[in-house]
Structure 1
Amino acid sequence: MTTTDFFTTGEDVLRAAIAAELDRTRRRSLALTDSVDDADLTRQHSPLMSPLVWDLAHIGNQEELWLVRDVGGLVPLRSDIDELYDAFQHARADRPALPLLSPAEARGYVRGVREKTLDVLDRTPLRGRRLVADGFAFGMIVQHEQQHDETMLATHQLRTGEPVLHAPAPPPSILPPTAREVLIPGGPFTMGTDSDPWALDNERPAHTVLVDSFYLDAAPVTNAAYAEFIAEGGYDRREWWTEAGWAHRQQAELRAPLFWERDSDGTWWRRRFGVTEPVPAEEPVVHVCLHEAEAYARWAGRRLPTEAEWEKAARHDPVTGRSRRYPWGDEAPTEHHANLGQRHLSPAPVGAYPQGTTPAGVHQLVGDVWEWTSSTFTAHPGFAAFPYREYSEVFLDGGYQVLRGGSFGTDTSMARASFRNWDHPIRRQIFAGFRCARDAARAERS
């Protein structure tokens, strides 16, 4: 049972559930940072990423700003470090040169902040003020920390050296899709949400969107399918790429997904959290940028889905007409529904989660890999920034591309199908893949 199951119960039950979520999340953060030595914590493994110790202290600083100071009205522990851990003040590439807290100081800081947070939680009514109603501020901080945990997981993928993270392999394919693609009938549906207590501002408000009929891949594009694209000259043929995509492919010298290498006999290998292994054919392809996804889709005679198409496929119940919280319904995700929460350290093969399939037969829309869409990150009609502009508003209309669905590193607290992610079209270190779509013929739309 997750925290969201407690919203209709008493405050004491909700308060206990929030405390459990905070603890569960912190255990993940500490596991990601305790698994390496201090030198690894302070090292920058890529200019695209912060040192792990920066992420850890930033997590504590955001918690202090919102829960200790704002909600609790308490004196700050370390107001002198706010500027150091403001993500908008310093680019990631510049953060190693800052006078950051040492690993021991960062651990002590986040521990001290958490002690105060739990005191605030114990005495704060979870009603009235919008920031605290239904525990929103606490849920916002849980999700913020989990987002940084996924970022730290991506940093672990970029580090070199012996493996330090371990997890069981994902489950095998149990029930692969019976068809390559699924027809999603056209018509209106409710996009976004007004009712989810912990939904963030860019998911709001709920609004009606009309989507034409279209076909959507029943599963994400697999490594085997993507290898066919490479074998047929996908990275060499200009006609499959947009102008911006081809320029980036040349400038970045893209030849295959990030972390892939081909040996002399033509076998593809990948590096995964310090382990080198053959590329698994039936897993969704991961670590590709938007330009690579678009090029593959054109090669296949298809396109990427729009964000609205993706959400309709994931949420719309064709029987009742309502939008559900998850592709399988409103039941909170379990290990049988989706590959989430760093339970495994790779995507699962297609067909591994039949219980997570939509009524129409679309598999693995949540978990495994973030899915690129053809939509740029814009506001829903009626959007209002809350509780601060820097979460969403400053990124709107800024050339960012929307990704949906979450990855194997995304926490269940963000697995709802209304959750929106965004990044630069060239990003490959994130756990991103894609699936394709195509328009339905006129006869099929009627």
Structure 2
Amino acid sequence: MPVLNDTADTAVRQRALTALEQARARTHALTSCLDDSELMAQHSALMSPLVWDLAHIGNQEDIWLLREAGGQPALRPELDPVYDAFRTPRADRPGLPMLSPDRARRFVAEVRERALDVLAVAPLTGHPLFHGGFVFGMVAQHEQQHDETMLATHQLRRGPAVLKAPPPPSAVGGDLPREVLVRAGPFTMGTDPETDPWALDNERPAHTVDLPAFWLDTTPVTNAAYQEFIADGGYTKSRWWHPDGWAYIRKTQLSAPLFWRREGNIWLRRRFGSLEPVPPAAPVMHVSWYEADAYARWAGRRLPTEAEWEKAARHDPDTGHSARHPWGDTDPGPEHANLGQCHLEPAAAGAYPAGTAPCGARQLLGDVWEWTASDFTGYPGFTAFPYREYSEVFFGGEAATYKVLRGGSFGTDPVACRSTFRNWDFPIRRQIFAGFRTARDA
């Protein structure tokens, strides 16, 4: 462990060190539980082999913490094309000359040892890359994002369960109202480096958005509610579906969320190697944007825009303050939200009363990513930083087909989850830990 400078920036360095160490501990936990053959295997064409993710994490840290932040020569420059996420599609990555698991572990360990030396002495002022320790936070968030991707790979993997975690908490507070009112008016959407130095480029800049009043589901849509949609023939009636979504489910013959199957009158789901009844009170998960949109139409409602979602999640109409999280600006604790892979499933709808937003909505962070109605694009005044490939290449043109998800899931680490954080994916994606809630005009 490096000796941290005894200066005013010690807190920033300690925050960065903690974030990097927590991410690495999770990476090791997700990869040490499987043998080499499982790590090298491709468990789904949608995902990379787990060992590719492992070494890719080290390669990105080499690029940004050793070369960019540390000004050092590349540790393993020949690995750059192998672990370039844009160069080779996931389905083709098993054919790459990947490092073996043992070599990948040695590589990421050597990179980390040098990266911590950089952290101990790097300036935290001056260039925007170092402001508030941004580059270290970016690398920690990148690793945690890949950890969530690896968790999704574990869910796709066939075989006995290898991951364990206690069950999430139950609902609290009795019967909640189905929906809450989000009042009309302006709010601050997005953020800036001065407010949140570790926010990523697509969360910037902060800007004012004025919205009419709307109603929003108090909690995410539950498995029980979604089963009503199925029972009513939701997958067989074209009137509920976006035309592209209807064509897709006809082509793929979808009839329920991913990992569900029906035995008699009981819906079962496969979860990390175990088969179990679908819990009725938990948020529905592993549904595509098309499925979420169809359910909302069937229910006589709609998906919220991402601006509506963010206003509900962070704006206090009494003070006018847009907080970092629904409960305020303090960091998430286990009482606030289901984050960080502390549990391996969403909590029941109505859990985490301490995480309630000013509008009264619950579980806006954690449990399941929530699909929104919005396409992924840049905010007014957007500037790519520190590289176009993080966000900008997904804007516009074909990338307009990417839909925005908000709020994080049980598999999202708190370092990569806040009310301004934006995720995006194709509207057909179902392997991610995604659900939704619905809205209507007031």
Normalising by structure 2, what TM-score?
A: 0.96
Which structure 2 residues correspond to residues 41-440 of structure 1 after superposition, within 5 A?
41-176=39-174, 178-194=176-192, 195-264=195-264, 266-397=265-396, 398=399, 399-440=401-442
- Partners of 2:20 and 2:174 in 1: CA distance: 36
What's the secondary structure of 1:390's corresponding residue? Answer: helix
Tell me, in whole angstroms, the C-alpha distance in 1 between the residues paired with 2:60 and 2:111. Answer: 10
The aligned residue for residue 4 of structure 2 is: none
The code of the aligned residue for 1:288 comes to V
1:176 CA drift (Å): 4.8
Cα deviation digits, residues 304-324 of structure 1 (max 9, x gap): 000100000001111111211
Q: Is the 8 A contact 2:48 2:94 kept in 1?
A: yes
Contact 1:177 1:219 in 2 (8 A): no
Q: Deviations over 1:231-268 (max 9, x none)?
A: 0101011111111110011111110000000002x100
**Structure 2 residue identity aligned to 1:409:** G
Amino acid corresponding to residue 433 of structure 1 in structure 2 = G
Please give the secondary structure, in 1, of the residue aligned with 2:236. coil
- Structure 1 letter corresponding to 2:407: G
Q: 2:65, 2:430 → 1: CA distance?
A: 33
Counterpart Cα distance in 2 of 1:142 and 1:429 = 23
Structure 2 unaligned blocks of 5 or more? 1-6
The residue number in structure 1 matching 2:36 is 38
Mean CA deviation greater in 174-183 or 119-128: 174-183
Q: Deviations over 1:24-76 (max 9, x none)?
A: 11000010011110000000000000000000000000000000011101122
**Using the alignment, how far apart are the partners of 1:242 and 1:76 within structure 2?**
48
- For the aligned residue pairs, the C-alpha RMSD in angstroms reads 0.9
Deviation string for 1:346-398 (max 9, x for gaps)? 00001110000112210100000000000000110000000000000000121
**Cα distance in structure 2, aligned partners of 1:355 and 1:82:** 44
Give the counterpart letter for 1:183 in structure 2: L
User: Are the counterparts in 1 of residues 408 and 417 from structure 2 also a CA contact under 8 Å?
Assistant: yes
Separation in 2 of the partners of 1:162 and 1:75? 43
Distance (Å, rounded) in 2 between the aligned partners of 1:415 and 1:124: 26
Q: CA deviation at 1:17?
A: 2.4
Q: Percent identity?
A: 64
Secondary structure of the corresponding residue to residue 438 of structure 1: strand
Q: Determine the C-alpha separation between the residues in 2 that align with 1:232 and 1:159.
A: 32
Find the aligned partners of 2:176 and 2:154 in 1 and give their Cα distance: 36
TM-score normalised according to structure 1 size: 0.96
Per mean C-alpha deviation after superposition, the further-off stretch among 248-257 and 381-390 is 248-257
- Count of residues paired in the alignment: 431
Tell me, yes or no, if the aligned pair for 1:366 and 1:406 is still in contact at 8 Å: yes
Q: Deviations over 1:136-178 (max 9, x none)?
A: 0000000000000000000000001110000000011122562
